[in-house]
Structure 1
Amino acid sequence: MTEPAVDEGSGSARGGWARRHRRTVTVLTVLSVVVALLVADGIRRYAEGEAELASDPAFYALPSPVPTGQAGAIIRRESIASAPAGSTAWRVIYHSRDLAGEDIPVSGIVIVPNSPAPLDGRPIVAWGHPTTGAATRCAPSLGLDPFQLMEGMHELLAEGYAIAATDYPGLGVAGGSSYLLGVPESNAVLDSVRAARGIDEAQIGDRFVLWGHSQGGQAVLFAAERAADYAPELTLEGVAVAAPAADLSALMSDDIVDISGVTIASYAIPAYTAAYEDRFGEEAISAILTPAGATATPKMAELCLLAQNEQIHAIADPLVGGYVTSDPATTEPWRTMLRENSAGASPITVPVFVGQGEADELVIPSATEEYVARLCAQKTNVSFHRFPGVDHGFAAYASVPALLLWLAELESGTPKGNCPA
């Protein structure tokens, strides 16, 4: 009986298909496991977050008066059960300083990877979050997912960084708002690093990097300018920002004609009135408002961005074009107050990373370009990255890949920078 002929090509094809099929099944199996783990962790974090919401009011309620303490000293802390898998986190309340240098309590979060810490302690990123509102309940640490606004958190933890994320004064713990006030915001950022180092089991060293988005960009730029004087025991290695609210005069002039500007101003006016009324008088500060603007401001100042956008629009939309009597950037005392709270008055002596979306209509690209030009004129080492098609909300996320490369350069030496020669 004749043996059947063997088609070598057909057998090879069948073998190749089988191997590809097995690889596909393996990849799909791995992806299924990963997705299942992510879903399970998400369910766990949601359940833990719901439980933590019930205990939040007691944690944030402090005795009156609060005993004084050194800047950065922890007043109270608690573990956060809803921390992402592979990390450990704490909610903290710590001492900081307001515009007048008075002791104030500030809340925030510290999160560390569960990987072993270096012998000299973990490096830490001090995160400045974008605008969430100006009312106490708008604090990121009070959210169902208190880690949601830490842009780049997972990547930074994977690289071995700890993260300290302040709420800023007036958010979380009741107190005067610090919205767009550079000194108290930056104090809170720097003191969050001190607080994180006060958690022994976090194993955090003295090296830190600043990273902020929008309002947080203003806060961390101020922190970079002031770090050597305010926190000389810490070693600042660099500062990174995405779409920073660096020049408040430009921000107000660019945005006051739309709903974003009305919302920003409604948060800033109460904060600036409380901070500067002794110097300029409440009447002079509030004179910038139209009668309709004066009526609406207290209502808007109590609303949280994102969570209450519909209510914000209902109040602010009719006020567009009729909220203020003149451009705050050119009207005293606002002209002086905005200038004093804009970054750039003092040189930054560490490398700076700047990310900017070219489709940003809030912090417009030309404003960031002018700030970068100022840094370059001050001989600062600047790495400036533009992202086509990226708007304000996604500027920080778009910046993360370039940020990680910049951080690697920072660890190994000095980033190249791209200021004009």
Structure 2
Amino acid sequence: MQTPAPVRHPKFVRAYRRALSAGVVVVALLGGVLALNAGRIVGDLDERSGIAAFYDIPADAPAGPPGSIVKSEPLLGVPLDTRAWRVMYRSTDLNGAPVIATGVVVTPRGSGPSGGRTVASWGHPTTGSAAACAPSLGADPSLGIEGMRVLLDRGYTVVATDYTGMGAAGPDSYLIGATEGHNVLDAVRAARAIPEAEAGTDVVLWGHSQGGQAVLFAAELAATYAPELTVKAVAAAAPAADLSALMKTHLDDISGVTIGSYAFSAFSEIYADRGADISSILTPAAVAIQPQMNELCLLTHIDQLHAIAQPVVGSFVSADPTTTEPWATLLTENSAGGASFTAPLLVVQGLKDELVRPADTEGYVALVQSQGMDVTYRIVAAATHGTIAYLGLGDLVAFLDRVGA
């Protein structure tokens, strides 16, 4: 067979060479990324063996001050140029009772400043409410920490709580503001208990969605709950700040059934002594699906969750929880803004967010501005609920630079 003569048209040759060069660059970049992350991937896989045992709570675990460590273990699959640990630590619930929480601590390699590194305590968005939905149990425990690389590059130690009841067994904490806030602050204390993390007392609180609510409560509680810590800055991306507004917005849609299932189950467990009987607010059909809904994790089982939830869309609640007691009061109590704080606050919101609506976030911003707080509000026009924490990182960096955190 005769070999075809090479094509010599100048435009074709130039285009071909550009494509070839681009291909070589892409392959090289991909190869570099794979090489840099090969150790992390291998480490992540190696850690899966026996991981469940870490989340077994020792009998004497509750004994000890909030933030003290029950146990920790180094992580093998870590981000580039870092060290990291999985931790189990002590915390308290909304009533001050001892609880156990888990999470991860990640810190840059190399020596930190003499006073210790600033600690960025991350509040994660909704992943579910079951123990298995804990981010630290994931294949890559640090993957879901939005903006982690930015924070590490600033020299921060990063800590991320799972929240009580996720990872290790414990009472449900979903959208229970004070418990989540305690978990976020005690995670900083846990990081400080690891000498190699070089964690200082300066703190930045950063969270998204549910985690936005968690860090706002942490900021409100910090002065009395953890007075040894100095909260330098607080940042929240599309925070679930006003639970009444959030619930009102989604009473008759699929998001309301999905998120509401997590929330009403949590509230009925934690506030049973205040008359929060789930059958008093949900229809019989909605009550029936609660066990299934609460076993599933949002990120990995969204199709199953929606399939179970769809039949009760429009017939989920038997009354409006934002006007029916004790639910109305409980939603208000677990909405941020009940107390002010002195640390500067950044709130970032996407205009394409269909879960936490811009109007609801603007309502929270107006509330805290009326309290005299130092608030920076930034809108990202193209951001959805899922992308706002990443698309808002430029605003986060500018904010941290401005306030000197």
* TM-score bucket of the superposed structures, by smaller chain: over 0.9
Are the aligned partners of 1:94 and 1:106 in contact in 2 as well (CA < 8 Å)? yes
Instruction: Indicate yes or no: 2:68 matched with 1:73.
Output: yes
Measure the CA separation in 1 of the matches of 2:245 and 2:23: 51
Measure the CA separation in 2 of the matches of 1:258 and 1:302: 20
The secondary structure found in structure 2 opposite 1:37 is helix
Instruction: Indicate yes or no: 2:358 matched with 1:365.
Output: yes
- The residue that corresponds to 2:126 in the other structure is 131
Superposition pairs for residues 211-290 of structure 1, below 5 Å?
Answer: 211-280=206-275, 282=277, 285-290=278-283
Superposition pairs for residues 91-102 of structure 1, below 5 Å?
Answer: 91-102=86-97
Shift of 1:256: 1.9
Are the aligned partners of 1:259 and 1:313 in contact in 2 as well (CA < 8 Å)? yes
CA RMSD of aligned residues (A): 1.9
- The residue that corresponds to 1:46 in the other structure is 41
Correspondent of 2:322 among 329, 341, 354: 329
Are the aligned partners of 1:266 and 1:298 in contact in 2 as well (CA < 8 Å)? no
Q: Which amino acid aligns with 1:264?
A: I
Q: Which moved more, 1:168-177 or 1:30-39?
A: 30-39
Q: Which moved more, 1:47-56 or 1:181-190?
A: 47-56
Q: Deviations over 1:48-73 (max 9, x none)?
A: 21221222111111223534110000
Correspondent of 1:398 among 385, 391, 395: 391
Shift of 1:32: 5.8
Choose 1 or 2 for highest CA Rg.
Answer: 1
- The residue that corresponds to 1:293 in the other structure is 286
The secondary structure found in structure 1 opposite 2:215 is helix
- C-alpha change, 1:71 and 1:274, in structure 2 (3 Å) is same
5+ residue gaps in structure 2? 1-16
Are the aligned partners of 1:109 and 1:141 in contact in 2 as well (CA < 8 Å)? yes
Q: Deviations over 1:333-366 (max 9, x none)?
A: 1101000000001012110000000011100000
Are the aligned partners of 2:267 and 2:276 in contact in 1 as well (CA < 8 Å)? no
- The residue that corresponds to 2:154 in the other structure is 159
Q: Which amino acid aligns with 1:164?
A: V
Are the aligned partners of 1:140 and 1:149 in contact in 2 as well (CA < 8 Å)? yes
- C-alpha change, 1:106 and 1:145, in structure 2 (3 Å) is same
How many residue pairs are counted as aligned between the two chains?
388
Are the aligned partners of 1:115 and 1:160 in contact in 2 as well (CA < 8 Å)? no
- The residue that corresponds to 1:12 in the other structure is none
Q: Deviations over 1:156-213 (max 9, x none)?
A: 1111111110000000001111000001100000000000000011111100010000
Q: Which amino acid aligns with 1:186?
A: G
Q: Which runs of 4+ in 1 moved over 3 A?
A: 27-35
Correspondent of 2:111 among 116, 124, 132: 116
Q: Deviations over 1:18-55 (max 9, x none)?
A: xxx9xx98x99887655323112333322221221222
Q: Deviations over 1:272-330 (max 9, x none)?
A: 11111112253xx4310101001011110110001011210110111110111122111
- The TM-score normalised by the length of structure 2 is 0.92
Measure the CA separation in 2 of the matches of 1:308 and 1:39: 28
- The TM-score normalised by the length of structure 1 is 0.89
Q: Which amino acid aligns with 2:324?
A: T
Measure the CA separation in 2 of the matches of 1:342 and 1:85: 37
Q: Which amino acid aligns with 2:367?
A: R
- The residue that corresponds to 1:205 in the other structure is 200
Q: Which amino acid aligns with 2:200?
A: G
